[in-house]
Amino acid sequence: MIGFILGTSEGKKILSLINQYTDDVVVSTATSYGGELLKEYKTKYINIKPLDENGFKDLINDFNITVLVDGSHPYAKEVSNTAIKVCKAMNIGYIRYERKSYFSDIEEGIIKIDKYEELEEVLKNIDGNILNTTGSNNISLISNLNISNRIIHRIMPYPEIIRKLLDIGVNMEDIIAIKGPFGYELNEGIIKEYNIKAIITKDSGIEGGTKEKVEAALSNNAKVIVVSRPKVNYGQTFDDVEEMIRYIKETYF
Domain residues of the chain, as ranges?
Answer: 2-98+231-252, 110-227
Which of 99, 70, 103 has the alpha carbon at shortest distance from 234? 70
Q: What is the mean pLDDT of the chain?
A: 94
CB atoms within 10 A of CB 253: 9
Q: Taking 90 as the threshold, does the pLDDT of residue 180 lie above it?
A: no
DSSP per-residue string spanning 109-148:
TEEEESSGGGHHHHGGG--SEEEE-S-STTHHHHHTS---
Evaluate if residue 29 carries a pLDDT over 80.
yes
Say yes or no to pLDDT of 2 above 90.
yes
Fold agreement (2-98+231-252, 110-227): yes
Summarize the confidence of residues 24-38 as an average pLDDT: 91
181-190 residues labelled b (16+ CB within 10 A) or e (exposed): bbeeebbbeb
Amino acid at 38: L
- Give me Rg for the CA atoms of the chain: 20
Length of the chain: 253
DSSP 246: H
Q: What is the pLDDT of residues 183-193, one digit of tens each?
A: 999 999 999 99
pLDDT at residue 49, rounded to an integer: 93
**What is the residue-wise DSSP string for 80-110?**
HHHHHHHHHHHT-EEEEE-PPPS-TT--TTE
The 10s digit of each residue's pLDDT in 128-151 is: 999 999 989 889 999 999 899 999
Give backbone dihedrals phi and psi of 165, rounded to 5 degrees, phi first.
-65, -45
Parallel, antiparallel, or unpaired for β 110-113 and 223-227? parallel
Q: What confidence tens digit (pLDDT) does each residue in 67-116 have?
A: 999 999 999 999 999 999 999 999 999 999 999 988 877 777 899 999 99
CB of 6 within 8 A of CB of 71? yes
Cα gap 147→151, rounded to integer Å: 9
* Residue 204: band (very low, low, confident or very high) from pLDDT cuts 50, 70, 90: confident
Residue 51 confidence (pLDDT): 96
Give residue 208's pLDDT band: very low, low, confident or very high (50, 70, 90). confident
DSSP letters for 136-201: STTHHHHHTS---S-EEEEE---HHHHHHHHHTT--GGGEEE------HHHHHHHHHHTTEEEEEE
pLDDT the model gives residue 105: 73
Report the CATH number of the 110-227 domain.
3.40.50.620
Choose among 65, 18, 15, 67: nearest CA to 38.
Answer: 15
Rounded to an integer, the average pLDDT of 15-28 is: 96
Three-state SS for 238? strand
Q: Output the pLDDT for position 31.
A: 87
- Architecture of the structural domain at 2-98+231-252: 3-Layer(aba) Sandwich (3.40)
Q: Are 244 and 4 in contact (CB under 8 A)?
A: no
Q: Give this prediction's pTM.
A: 0.88
What is the mean predicted confidence (pLDDT) over 214-226?
A: 96
